[in-house]
């Protein structure tokens, strides 16, 4: 089942977001355009190529709520990174396309919530808690009825959901593979001995060092997609790996040097999948997700997550600890 899951490659096209009402958790936006920066690169060259900084195709105008503004029918909780917002916009667009009442201005509100993983960037994720760092505060807002649904990258979701929440369905899954990005090499095998690859993922680190022990890995290579590409452009590392799904959702595939096959780099469990969570006692939101043909319920993704959680339970260890051990890091 896992092999079939990882080979599953469903292309999902998300439309550029338009105007909506929204606010950062705890405060409102003023009338301004929130531009999401995008880094693009031209065709690969051995010469001193640089990733070009441009304006993303996806920008959103966020309007300050007033007493005259219609009360939102659905509040979507999400992180504030460009990728997280793109996933929230995709969810919003599907809701609007399926329900005419949700297509009205102000019917859907995007609520940006800053998580622990967004706040602490100076330490490796495994050292500050691992799984749940990008979902905890969003789930708390969901349980406190501050948002109605929460949009999560499934690979960030812990094995056990918080009591009172359920994750009944997923959006259509994107490409599960990892992308190799470099200004000086066409692949991991092409990197000279001693080259530094930037990644915060223990999964990627273990596989890189197993296949290419002559390379070095900067493990606390953190930040959103744009930040990591900027660090690569500045020469902090010679290469990095990113999920191809995220680059597609951000319309940033021009930065990809090459795409790694599943045999070369095993993807994370549920990579490329977006999960939609809601309160278990909120019948309206549950029906919205299950009764209508809005979301694609992917039983393979959910089965994979269950299998993964069961494996961790049997190992009596965290996923990070197990990967470290396999990589010979202990």
**Rounded-to-10 torsion of CA 110, 113, 114, 115:** -120
Q: Tell me the C-alpha distance between 211 and 330, whole Å.
A: 18
Reading across the β-sheet that carries 74-78, which strands appear in turn?
Answer: 32-40, 52-63, 20-24, 108-112, 74-78, 149-153, 274-279, 165-170
User: Is residue 305 within 8 Å of 157, Cβ to Cβ?
Assistant: yes
From the candidates 118, 139, 148, 156, give the one annotated as an active-site residue: 156
Q: Tell me the C-alpha distance between 142 and 323, whole Å.
A: 32
Q: What are phi and psi of 312, to 5 degrees?
A: -60, -40
Q: Tell me the C-alpha distance between 273 and 271, whole Å.
A: 6
Q: Tell me the C-alpha distance between 35 and 38, whole Å.
A: 9
Pairing outcome for strands 74-78 and 149-153: parallel
Token pair 């494996």: residue = 311
User: Is residue 75 within 8 Å of 147, Cβ to Cβ?
Assistant: yes
CA-wise closest residue to 157 among 141, 172, 178, 138: 138
Sequence-separated contacts (24+) of 286-292 with Cβ below 8 Å = 286/166, 286/168, 288/74, 288/95, 288/99, 289/149, 289/168, 289/169, 290/168, 290/169, 292/98, 292/99
Annotated catalytic residue 156: yes
Q: Tell me the C-alpha distance between 164 and 23, whole Å.
A: 25
Catalytic residues: 156
């Amino acid at each position: 089942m896992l092999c079939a899951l990882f080979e599953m490659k469903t292309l999902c096209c998300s439309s550029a977001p338009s105007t909506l009402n929204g606010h950062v958790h705890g405060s409102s936006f003023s009338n301004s355009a929130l531009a999401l920066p995008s880094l693009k690169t031209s065709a690969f060259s051995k010469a001193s190529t640089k990733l070009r900084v441009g304006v993303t195709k996806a920008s959103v105008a966020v309007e300050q709520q007033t007493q005259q503004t219609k009360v939102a029918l659905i509040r979507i909780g999400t992180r504030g990174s460009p990728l997280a917002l793109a996933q929230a916009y995709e969810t919003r667009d599907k809701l609007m396309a399926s329900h005419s009442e949700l297509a009205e201005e102000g019917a859907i509100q995007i609520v940006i919530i800053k998580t622990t993983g967004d706040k602490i960037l100076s330490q490796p994720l495994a050292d500050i808690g691992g799984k749940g760092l990008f979902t905890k505060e969003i789930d708390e807002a969901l349980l406190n009825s501050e948002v109605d649904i929460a949009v999560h990258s499934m690979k960030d979701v812990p094995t056990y959901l918080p009591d009172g929440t359920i994750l009944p369905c997923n959006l259509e899954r994107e490409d599960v593979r990892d992308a190799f990005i470099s200004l000086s090499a066409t692949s991991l095998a092409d990197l000279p001995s001693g080259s530094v690859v930037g990644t915060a993922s223990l999964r990627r680190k273990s596989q890189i060092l197993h296949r290419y022990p002559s390379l070095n890995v900067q493990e606390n290579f953190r930040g959103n997609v744009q930040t990591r590409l900027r660090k690569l452009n500045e020469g902090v590392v010679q290469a990095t790996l990113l999920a191809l799904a995220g680059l597609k959702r951000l319309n940033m595939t021009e930065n990809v040097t090459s795409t790694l096959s599943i045999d070369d780099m095993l993807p994370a469990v549920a990579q490329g999948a977006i999960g939609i969570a809601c309160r278990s006692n909120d019948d309206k939101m549950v029906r919205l997700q299950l009764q209508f043909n809005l979301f694609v319920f992917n039983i393979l993704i959910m089965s994979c997550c269950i299998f993964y959680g069961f494996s961790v339970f049997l190992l009596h260890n965290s996923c990070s600890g197990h990967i470290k051990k396999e990589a010979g890091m202990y």
